Amino acid sequence: MFQQVMKTTLQSLSFAALIAVPAFAFSAAQPGQPAPDFSEVDASGKTQTLADYKGEWLVVEWFNKDCPYVRKHYGSENMQALQKKYTDKGVKWVSVISSAFGRQGHLEADEAIAEAKSNGSALSAAYLLDEDGGMGRAFGAKATPHMFVINPEGVVVYAGAIDDNSSANPAVIAKSTNYVAAALDAGMKGDAIQVASTRAYGCSVKY
């Protein structure tokens, strides 16, 4: 009887693990601290490092194409509009895929390029392929999307959620406060960033 109960419990837990539920977490890369150094190959085969972005504003976004919370922002084209608005102003943007081989959201280089073209991302080579999870763990990325804004001095000035509504329903976007946009708008003008750290929401990063 005990064995049967345990078996049923484990089956229930295994099923629950497959259901997408929001993960909430603060990041290891804290505002006011230097951004973790990184060296990752992007989908085009180019190695990108933090030093490449010295003197520029940079947004780092954790991405999983199969996560409902990522689809919320890409399916509605909210993320693409955010990318275009700020890359047009000279901000650099990279999307990081830290899903391990065989895990949800993992993409090979050609698949990542195809995904970027399909969803209309700002840069088809923007995806950094962090298959071993080193970059994600250095930043403390726990969710997709998990967002970081880094200033031209290489300091993290915002870390956390994209906005203030953790629903997976895209209908809420129009009434949500976008923390990334607010941080960039204030920081690029030299103003104080009012909200520099929040709890990221989304699917857990599939290390």
Classify residue 17: in a domain, yes or no: no
Classify residue 9: in a domain, yes or no: no
Classify residue 116: in a domain, yes or no: yes
CATH number at residue 67: 3.40.30.10
> Residue 125 has what pLDDT?
52
> Residue 151 has what pLDDT?
98
> Residue 29 has what pLDDT?
85
Q: Please state the domain count of the chain.
A: 1
DSSP secondary structure letters along the chain:
-HHHHHHHHHHHHHHHHHS-----B--SS-TTSBPPP-EEEBTTS-EEEGGGGTTS-EEEEE--TT-HHHHHHHHTTHHHHHHHHHHTTT-EEEEEE-PPTTSTT---HHHHHHHHHHHT-S-TT-EEE-TT-HHHHHHT--EES-EEEE-TTSBEEEEE-SBS---S-GGGGGGS-BHHHHHHHHHHHTPPPS--B--B-SEEP--
Nearest Cα residue to 198 out of 35, 25, 63, 34:
25
Q: How many CB atoms lie within 10 A of CB 178?
A: 19
Q: What are the phi and psi torsion angles at 142 (to 5°)?
A: -115, -20
Encoded amino acid at 154, one letter: G
> Residue 110 has what pLDDT?
94
Exposure letters 27-48 (e unless 16+ CB within 10 A, then b) = bebebeeebbebebebbeeeeb
> Residue 13 has what pLDDT?
35
Which domain, by its residues, includes 111? 22-204
Q: How far is CA 11 from the centre of its chain?
A: 30
Classify residue 134: in a domain, yes or no: yes
Nearest Cα residue to 187 out of 161, 154, 147, 149:
149
Classify residue 173: in a domain, yes or no: yes
Classify residue 184: in a domain, yes or no: yes
Q: What is the pTM of this model?
A: 0.86
**CA–CA distance, 42 with 48 (Å, rounded to integer):** 7
Q: What is the pLDDT along the chain (207 residues), one digit of tens a residue?
A: 434 433 433 343 333 333 354 655 566 789 999 999 999 999 999 999 999 999 999 999 999 999 999 999 999 999 999 999 999 999 999 999 999 999 999 999 999 999 988 888 755 457 999 999 999 999 999 999 999 999 999 999 999 999 999 999 999 999 999 999 999 999 999 999 999 999 999 999 999
